[in-house]
Structure 1
């Protein structure tokens, strides 16, 4: 995938993808290099586990779920699959996709950008009953996050469930050291995050937060926000 590309928009269902220049420089490469160390750096994922349990308890067996930014497939894709759901995972990092396929062999995984999943994008996976985005939108600049949320809405059936997590931080495309590499991240303060999600067409039906201290020295303690949402019809 090129480091930079300009996408042509479909005015009927896209906002500004036609004029927004997407810059993924170094993002996938960082996670390719991190590989298995990601799960070592974040050994406790109580928020993700609880959010996935909400989905498992809310959906009938066999429901389709998209794990956006699936990483190594642990714990979310495996947990959802073991809970009887039909899981598809997507990640920008080829190495993460390889690990996910090894960890959760019964699921379907694709290397793709979230922009590839929009209605006029290159990867068509159909509609889903639920979608998870655990820290996936963190990797986008703020200008793109509303577009990504509208892509999520497009991928969900009416009334579909959406489990989202972000780190609470007032930053935009900000470079940070990360497990021996460097990535760029964005974030919102809590009230602003809620506003962005609701404006994109979701009802927030639950919220939780966790203070998390990763197990590596170059990542600072963080506050993780988890939102449980429903797509408006």
Structure 2
């Protein structure tokens, strides 16, 4: 079994067992806290995606790594004319087709999509909290290049990532890469970066902060979310602050949203 097969099996088993925002989110922080976290994610996504220069009634959208369909719902809320979804796992695709009968879903690996997705087909492609789970750099490059091929000239690529200023962080199921490396790859692939904004600030692992703060805040979050009731209270307390921080800050020590436009 290849490393890619192992990663696919990991996500197949995880989503088969837990097809919720916790299953696709920060599992260690529990379902209640993740619910609050995803409220912030939705607000940031809707605000940023709504500003795209698209003819919404005719817009063709692809969501890569749809998971539970969270961002599919976001595109629909914005009035996108046609939304298509995809996921690496059968566990997600099977359930997505039942939940969203009017949406077409493909089971595919965006690094090797074959001929399933036509060239220059989509006005916008989203890939949210997906690419840092591609642990092989060559497959990461292939994924970006595949996305570039299917976005029409003048179209958009909306992604969320952990854009590090410091050293690359490599784990078994996640790799956090440097901002300059990702930006250079996007530019080589035909994208211009339009803007980058915090997706979260405090409600996630502080991967781009100093080691002392990263460890201290990570321990605080895990302690605060050790039970579902305390996780709910922690999320409710942080939510109004997080909303302000994502609007007022230009960068974040954790996940950020980036808008790119195809040349």
TM-score, reference length from structure 2: 0.65
Call closer, same or farther: CA 1:212–1:59 in 2, change over 3 Å. Answer: farther
2:11 alignment partner in structure 1: 27
Does residue 123 of structure 1 match 2:107?
no
Q: Can you list the C-alpha shifts for 1:52-80, whole angstroms capped at 9, x where unaligned?
A: 3234x633312110000111111x11121
What residue number does 1:4 align with? 2
Between 1 and 2, higher relative CO (CA 8 Å, sep ≥ 6) is seen in 2
Confirm or deny: 8 A CA contact 2:16 2:91 kept in the other structure: yes
Q: How does 1:5-84 map to 2 (within 5 A)?
A: 24=7, 25-36=9-20, 37-38=22-23, 40=31, 41=34, 42-44=37-39, 45=41, 46-55=43-52, 58-74=54-70, 76-84=71-79
- Pairing 1:203–2:200 present: no
Supply the distance in 2 between the matched residues of 1:49 and 1:101 (Cα, whole angstroms): 23
Deviates more, 1:131-140 or 1:29-38: 29-38
* CA distance 1:58–1:47, change in 2 (3 Å): same
Structure-1 residue corresponding to 2:229: none
Superposed displacement of residue 124, structure 1 = 3.5
Q: Does 1:137 align with 2:131?
A: yes
Q: Tell me, which stretches of 5 or more residues in structure 1 are unaligned?
A: 6-20, 176-183
SS of alignment partner, residue 114 of structure 1: coil
2:110 is the alignment partner of 1:114:
yes
Query: What SS does structure 2 have at the residue aligned with 1:160?
Result: strand
Using the TM superposition, give the Cα deviation of residue 116 of structure 1 relative to its aligned residue in structure 2, in angstroms. Answer: 3.6
Q: Secondary structure at the match of 2:116?
A: coil
Q: What's the Cα RMSD here?
A: 2.8
Deviations along 1:26-64, one digit per CA (max 9) or x if unpaired, are 233223323123364343313333333234x63331211
* Cα deviation digits, residues 70-115 of structure 1 (max 9, x gap): 11111x1112123222000001122322343344332111222113
Distance 2:256 2:197 in 1: 6
Structure in which a larger fraction of residues adopt helix: 2
Contact 1:162/1:231 (CA < 8 Å) preserved in 2? yes
Q: How many equivalent pairs are there?
A: 200
The structure whose Rg is larger is 2
Residue 199 of structure 1 and its aligned partner are, at CA, apart by: 2.1
